[in-house]
Amino acid sequence: MSTAAPAAPAWAVTRPGGRDVGIMAVAIAGVSFSGPLTALVATSVLALAFWRNAAGAVLLLPVVLLRERATLTGLRPRHLASSVVAGLFLAAHFAAWLPSLSMTTVAASTALVTTTPIWTALAARFAGVRLPGTVWGGLVLAVLGAAMIAGVDVTVSWRALAGDGLALLGAICAAGYMLAGARARERLTTSAYAVVCYATCAVAIAVAAAVVGVPLTGFSARDWWLIAAITGCAQLLGHTLLNLVLSTVGPTVVGLAILLEVPGALLVALVLLQQVPPLLALPGMIAVVLGVALVIRGSSSPTVTEPIT
């Protein structure tokens, strides 16, 4: 692999080929285990986020050094800036979203955190991109869905409502991660980008853990096995494979694929945690998913790629 393919614009939609569809299917299966497995971990979410990112960077480093060394020729620190920014956004994403999994249901948290394409679409609008009516309709539907989930969680507890807010904040940070990642992949291969991004994320989380006094070791054997499973499923099969197709299909298509995490995580949580979300929250979850799907469908319109003059 000599060089990374140019990344698709953040709001563009490219029809994925059979290879990309297969890769995304494996990735979605991987990330669907992230929320339920995280809810089973007894240790700090900062420690969990640190180890899954640190392990991901270490496991991918030999690939870069042995198979992609030629791609490092001519790289300068400025070429890594977008990868570092992506890593910082990823750290913020984990810091916000992971705690929400123990505050509200896995299904509600996952539905809200997958609103990432809404925030990438809004970023495109602020960048001067004209958004069609379908996108705005999707935005309204997703907001109404989020409000329905929040309304149900108010009746459950204020803690559940706070979990909803953290999940939405996690989605906003994930949008920054995806946009910065798309920029980074214009120059770097998937493995090189992932190593820098994951390492940056791990360092940022380690600093945060040191500031708040959270230990990064001393867990039970059960938690270590869960961290290993989350790293394999969500980090290597999930994030890394999604990063692999990010440069060919674009962040909006990746965001559409990630919507399948919602029913996937619900089923896994049902089996592993025997956790069933409140029936009144299901319409809100469906509205969020349909709203985000409309945003992505509308983003495929040629109108979206025309900047405002």
**pLDDT at residue 199 in the model:** 94
Cα separation, 292 vs 297, whole angstroms: 9
Burial letters 192-209, b for 16+ CB under 10 A, else e = bbbbbbbbbbbbbbbebb
**Mean pLDDT value across residues 119-127:** 80
What is d(CA 238, CA 231) in angstroms, rounded to the nearest whole number? Answer: 9
User: Would you state the pLDDT for residue 263?
Assistant: 78
CB neighbour class for 24 (10 Å; exposed up to 12, middle 13-18, buried from 19): buried
Among residues of the chain, what percentage have pLDDT more than 90?
17
Residue 236 has pLDDT above 60, yes or no: yes
- Give me the pLDDT at residue 148, please: 79
pLDDT at 211: 93
Q: In the prediction, which pLDDT does 307 show? A: 28
Query: Would 6 be classed as within a structural domain?
Result: no
Dihedral, 286, 289, 291, 297 alpha carbons, nearest 10: -140
Which stretches within 101-132 are classed as H helix? 106-113, 116-126
- pLDDT (0 to 100) of residue 153: 67
Instruction: Give the pLDDT of residue 309.
Output: 27
pLDDT at 8: 44
Position 180 pLDDT exceeds 80 = yes
Task: Determine what percent of the chain is predicted with pLDDT higher than 70.
Answer: 85
> 3-state secondary structure string, 197-236?
HHHHHHHHHHHHHHHHCCCCCCCCHHHHHHHHHHHHHHHH
Q: Hey, how many other C-beta atoms are within 10 angstroms of the C-beta on 217?
A: 8
Q: Looking at per-residue confidence, does 17 or 89 come out higher? A: 89
174 pLDDT exceeds 80? yes
Question: Taking the model in full, what pTM does it have?
Answer: 0.77
Give the C-alpha separation, 204 to 92, whole Å.
Answer: 9
Q: What count of Cα atoms within 13 Å lies in the side-chain half-sphere of residue 165?
A: 7
Query: Tokens at residue 82, please?
Result: 């977008």
Section 224-250 average pLDDT: 80
Q: Is the pLDDT of residue 135 over 80?
A: no
Q: How many CA atoms lie within 13 A of 123 on its CB side?
A: 21
pLDDT of residue 300: 55
Give mean pLDDT, residues 121-145: 78
Domains contained in the chain, number: 1
- Is the pLDDT at 50 greater than 90, yes or no? yes
Domain interval for residue 299: 18-305
Judged against a pLDDT cut of 70, whether residue 4 lies above it is answered with no
**Residue pair 44/283 in contact by the 8 Å Cβ criterion:** no
Higher pLDDT, 51 or 267: 51
Q: Tell me whether residue 3 is in a domain.
A: no
Residue 125 has pLDDT above 50, yes or no: yes
Greater confidence (200 vs 122) lies with 200
The pLDDT assigned to 10 comes to: 43
pLDDT tens per residue across span 68-81: 777 766 667 777 88
Q: Print burial letters for 243-273: b (CB count within 10 Å at least 16), e (below 16).
A: bbbbbbbbbbbbbbbbbbbbbbbbebbeeee
Residue 84: pLDDT over 90: yes
> d(Cα 44, Cα 219) in Å, to the nearest integer?
10
- 133-156 and 106-113 are packed helices; what angle lies between their axes, rounded to 10 degrees? 150
Highest mean pLDDT pick, 49-53, 141-145, 237-241: 49-53
Report yes or no: 292 and 111 within 8 Å, Cβ to Cβ.
no
